[in-house]
Amino acid sequence: MRHLISPLDFTTEELDRLFDLAASIEREPGRYAHVCEGRILATCFYEPSTRTRLSFESAMIRLGGRVLGFSDAGSSSAAKGESVADTIQVISCYADICAMRHPKEGAATVAAGKSRIPVINAGDGGHHHPTQTLTDLLTIRNLKGRLEHFTIGLCGDLKFGRTVHSLIHALVRYPGIRFLFISPEELRIPDYITEMLREKDIPFEEVIRLDDVLPQLDLLYMTRVQKERFFNEEDYVRLKDFYILTPEKMKLAREDMLVLHPLPRVNEIDVEVDHDPRAAYFRQAQYGVYVRMALIMTLLGLAD
């Protein structure tokens, strides 16, 4: 039985097959409308979410399956003190596959160790968010035509942003990637990531000003300052509007640069940028459904 806990759980060849399946689903959704008939997806969300939970539910429903679950820890037995390990053993009796989001790093790993059904990590604290990474990779592959040889700028909360951490881990396996980390001093990318990049000899730079590097970028990955992971409100308020991407700034960027964002957006991208053909974040959300459909099929052994 397979789980998806870290973005490295699939080889790049397996990812190619997954993305090909997602592309096929996009082209011919009708062909896949019944493949999960009689199957149940449980969504166990101990932390707020709109996109991830609903995109999983939409994915399963579009495959003909059904969904059950909870969307906050307060309405589950976690509020009574039940452990994740016990909860997943019970969920294994009710569903065929489970997507779990939890504020604690490592929660999905614990769940997978006790589960009798495939577990998908839908975000564990500031650690990983592998299905967002699959979404990001599929978006890049579809809109850029490749997953190698580009300069990507990651901007915003690089310290707490789990989508950033997961995406970097996934991208280092492709040749010719150069990273530009754009963040205020307080929200710098963690040392364990820069050490990993140094070990692998992958080029990266850390900068504070977005304008200085915008013209070099093939991809700009904007992120929200992760309010819920701050220890005090004052720091959050000081940093939350550090970057705001405006139509004015977009003039500095290449004609074919793509702007990605895992969403939700707060202030970091002006809504006026939405009309720019380079803004890809809402298309990215659509790809998130196709890739989760492909993932559910794959983990349930229904992909062939």
Under the binding rule (CB under 6 A), the answer on residue 224 touching ligand NCD is: yes
Distance, in Å, from the CA atom of 158 to the CA atom of 9, rounded to the nearest integer, reads 22
Nearer residue to ligand NCD within complex by CB, 69 or 262? 262
Nearer residue to ligand NCD within complex by CB, 29 or 103? 103
- H or E segment to which residue 196 belongs: helix 191-199
Nearer residue to ligand NCD within complex by CB, 39 or 162? 162
Whether residue 208 contacts residue 184, with contact meaning beta carbons closer than 8 Å, is answered with yes
Sign of the alpha-carbon torsion through 158, 164, 170, 172: negative
CB crowding 196-208: b at 16 or more within 10 Å, else e = ebeeeebebeeee
Q: How far is the CB of 9 from ligand NCD (least distance, A)?
A: 18
Distance, in Å, from the CA atom of 274 to the CA atom of 281, rounded to the nearest integer, reads 8
Instruction: Indicate the residue whose CB is closest to ligand NCD.
Output: 262
Under the binding rule (CB under 6 A), the answer on residue 162 touching ligand NCD is: yes
Under the binding rule (CB under 6 A), the answer on residue 102 touching ligand NCD is: no
Under the binding rule (CB under 6 A), the answer on residue 129 touching ligand NCD is: yes
Residue 220 is given by DSSP the state: E
Nearer residue to ligand NCD within complex by CB, 32 or 221? 221
- Among positions 248-277, residues that touch ligand NCD (CB under 6 A) are 262-264
Nearer residue to ligand NCD within complex by CB, 35 or 189? 189
Under the binding rule (CB under 6 A), the answer on residue 69 touching ligand NCD is: no
Whether residue 21 contacts residue 298, with contact meaning beta carbons closer than 8 Å, is answered with yes
From residue 223, alpha-carbon distances to 20, 162, 177, 205 in Å are: 27, 10, 19, 18
Nearer residue to ligand NCD within complex by CB, 32 or 262? 262
CA 116 to chain centre: 25
Under the binding rule (CB under 6 A), the answer on residue 164 touching ligand NCD is: no
Under the binding rule (CB under 6 A), the answer on residue 65 touching ligand NCD is: no
Under the binding rule (CB under 6 A), the answer on residue 163 touching ligand NCD is: yes
Interaction site with ligand NCD (CB under 6 A): 51-52, 123, 129, 132, 162-163, 224, 262-264
